[in-house]
Structure 1
Amino acid sequence: MASLLPRFVLLWAFTLWAFTLAASVFVAGPAAAGPDDPDLIFRKSTTFNLVTPNDKLATYGIDDPVVEGVACHYTVPEAGGISGAFGVAEQVSDVSLACHEYAPIRFKEKFAQGDVVFREKRSLIFKKMQIIRGCDTKRNVLVYMVYSDKLIEGSPKNATATVPLQPWGAEREPQKCADWLK
């Protein structure tokens, strides 16, 4: 009888894992990336869960939709466990952000201070993460900020990244972000 107990526990754990995996595919469906979805760069597990998905840190990349030549990368924690497997876990507000110029900067249209560059839900209903853009006109620097907000209570957790507008290649003068403010 004692030798059957470890086998039973292992079989039970495997069955629970398979059921959780199947249920998460059924509930969430296949994740197809759309044109406005961020690009997953990589994920790294931060905990180990035997049966359910691990907690992870995930790094994503996005391009600014209005400013060509600027990319932002952000890292967010992704909850594991049963609620994470079913996609109903409320994600924490800890997000890091870095934005850089990777090609000559070209503005596609005018923008307002605090315009949303990217928005993503961080819970089933009430919480979202946003990356917004502004212009420091005195220093000619694009300023990006990421924060999470909630319907009832916001989060003071945020991060800021800056992209100075400088000449690129044969350009003599960089564009002025102040010229593109609404």
Structure 2
Amino acid sequence: MHTKSLGVAALVGLLGFAAIAAGSAQAASEQVGEVSTAFRWVGRNDRVVVEAYDDPKVQGVTCYVSRARTGGVKGTVGLAEDRAEASIACRQVGAVQFSAKLPLQEDVFTERMSVLFKRLHIVRLVDPKRNTLVYLTYSDKLVDGSPQNSVTAVPVPPGSPIPLK
């Protein structure tokens, strides 16, 4: 009897953790809008989606990423593999404040682009000489990544040096 109740408690705890993790993963990006690019008879249309990502360690900087999303039946149920193309524009949207010292290079966001093997990455690079944050987006795949990428930069005001690790 005790073992059964422990198993139920563990399952409830695991489900609660999964719900929290799913909520925090969704909080990492916010869809700003989308446009349809191709009509699909069944399922969602193919589209270009624009999402906003707030840098978790740099308050006041938001990155906007646009990328293609595949529609149809596979896209609607999450089984389609999206194209490896993305564009990024990061902007200062408020006072720049750092919550921690930054490494010279850090993968700040990753998101699944296919069921198993493809991920979208947003990498923050620090250019200390110019006091600038550089953001790069690209996708990788387990076997064959894509060289397609996009880059943008956010200059930090001269009176606020970027704290480095």
Equivalent position of 1:181 in the other structure: 164
* Unaligned stretches of 5+ residues in structure 2: 1-21
User: Whole-Å Cα distance in 2 between the matches of residues 100 and 90 of structure 1?
Assistant: 29
Equivalent position of 1:132 in the other structure: 123
Deviation at 1:174, TM superposition (A): 2.3
State TM-score, norm by structure 1: 0.74
Residues 1:61 and 2:25 aligned together = no
Deviation at 1:116, TM superposition (A): 1.5
| Letter of the structure 2 residue corresponding to residue 181 of structure 1 | L
Equivalent position of 2:43 in the other structure: 52
Structure 1's consecutive aligned runs of 4 or more residues displaced over 6 angstroms after TM superposition are none
Q: SS in structure 2 opposite 1:68?
A: strand
Residues 1:162 and 2:153 aligned together = yes
State TM-score, norm by structure 2: 0.82
Q: Any conservation in 1 of the 2:28–2:54 contact (CA below 8 Å)?
A: no
User: Whole-Å Cα distance in 2 between the matches of residues 111 and 151 of structure 1?
Assistant: 28
| Letter of the structure 2 residue corresponding to residue 176 of structure 1 | P
Residues 1:78 and 2:69 aligned together = yes
User: Whole-Å Cα distance in 2 between the matches of residues 112 and 140 of structure 1?
Assistant: 13
User: Whole-Å Cα distance in 1 between the matches of residues 90 and 104 of structure 2?
Assistant: 17
Identity, % of aligned positions? 37
Cα RMSD (Å) of the superposition? 1.7
